[in-house]
């Protein structure tokens, strides 16, 4: 297995760092999956058992000016590494002013993602900083756990309101209850509500718009009307964590609800896509 990439553009380095920063706030460890065309960050949570799940994908060509990788074999052109996201973020954060940054898979007493940065200096002598981020190579027998999730058979899909506004609402509700009900309808309306024995709070968002999903548009069963509604009661802390973590400044944000089962949140920015799944609770 081999992996080596080089980042030259400041914008590309900043984008990659923002993505890794977001990942580090969502999970302590995750799997970084490398293929010839993409990088993925995956948290394979058991949503059915109450765990969250995450899938983030980046086209490597949008990040790296040079990119070389060889998988475990010519038939299996991928590498799966378990990494502590915070450690990778710290390494990238310290080299934001670099002329160029190289990221490569090395073996220094243990497998590592080695980040090598050439920093600017006032003299003609270059200054090189190296960070070794320990990783674990995921065996091939476990790869099936890190496949791309399909779009769930959701009941309602709406665009999210401004994430900062939504975060402010959720932050206030967190002080009143541990759980929140997210409800949306096919007319582009969404409510966030919580109830306790002492208080009931509901926030309304309207005219959010509804995404068009090709695979569902062609299905004979997609006769959704504005009366179609779905809701999911979720752990407020998990939703708050997602809203507080995002650093990618998405151009589009979507919420899909599988009634009483799953809340799927999707962020799009350029060619970066981040999906986060929060299970419903009874």
Q: What is the CATH number of the domain that holds 112?
A: 3.70.10.10
Distance between CA atoms of 266 and 227, rounded to whole angstroms? 23
Domain hosting 240: range is 156-279
Pairwise pLDDT comparison (23 vs 226), residue with the higher score: 23
Q: What is the pLDDT of residue 48?
A: 52
pLDDT above 70 for 220 = no
In a domain, 20, yes or no: yes
**Kindly report the CA angle at 151 between 149 and 157, in degrees rounded to 5?**
140
Q: What's the total number of domains in the chain?
A: 2
pLDDT (tens digit per residue) in 158-190: 999 999 999 999 999 998 999 999 999 999 999
Burial of 30 (0-12, 13-18, 19+ CB in 10 A): buried
Please give the model's pTM, rounded to 2 decimal places: 0.88
In terms of domains, do 162 and 232 share one? yes
């Amino acid at each position: 297995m081999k992996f080596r990439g080089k980042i030259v553009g400041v914008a590309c380095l900043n984008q990659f760092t923002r993505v890794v920063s977001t990942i580090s706030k969502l999970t302590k460890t995750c799997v970084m999956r490398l293929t010839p065309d993409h990088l993925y960050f995956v948290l394979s949570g058991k949503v059915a058992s109450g765990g969250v799940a995450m899938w983030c994908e980046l086209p490597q060509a949008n990040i790296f000016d040079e990119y070389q990788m060889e998988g475990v074999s010519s038939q299996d052109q991928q590498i799966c590494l378990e990494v502590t996201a915070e450690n990778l973020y710290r390494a990238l954060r310290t080299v934001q002013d670099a002329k160029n940054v190289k990221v490569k898979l090395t073996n220094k007493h243990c497998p590592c993602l080695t980040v090598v940065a050439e920093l600017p200096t006032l003299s003609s002598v270059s200054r090189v900083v190296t960070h070794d981020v320990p990783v674990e190579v995921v065996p091939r027998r476990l790869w099936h756990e890190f496949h791309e999730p399909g779009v769930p058979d959701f009941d309602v899909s709406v665009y999210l309101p401004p994430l900062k506004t939504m975060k402010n609402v959720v932050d206030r509700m967190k002080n009143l209850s541990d759980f929140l009900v997210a409800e949306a309808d096919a007319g582009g309306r969404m409510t966030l509500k919580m109830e306790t024995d002492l208080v009931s709070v509901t926030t309304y968002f309207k005219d959010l718009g509804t995404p068009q999903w090709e695979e569902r548009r062609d299905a004979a069963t997609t006769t959704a009307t504005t009366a179609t509604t779905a809701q999911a009661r979720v752990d407020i802390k998990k939703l708050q964590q997602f809203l507080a973590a995002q650093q990618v400044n998405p151009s589009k944000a979507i919420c899909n609800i599988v009634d009483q089962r799953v809340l799927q949140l999707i962020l799009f920015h350029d060619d970066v896509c981040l999906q986060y799944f929060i299970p419903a609770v009874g």
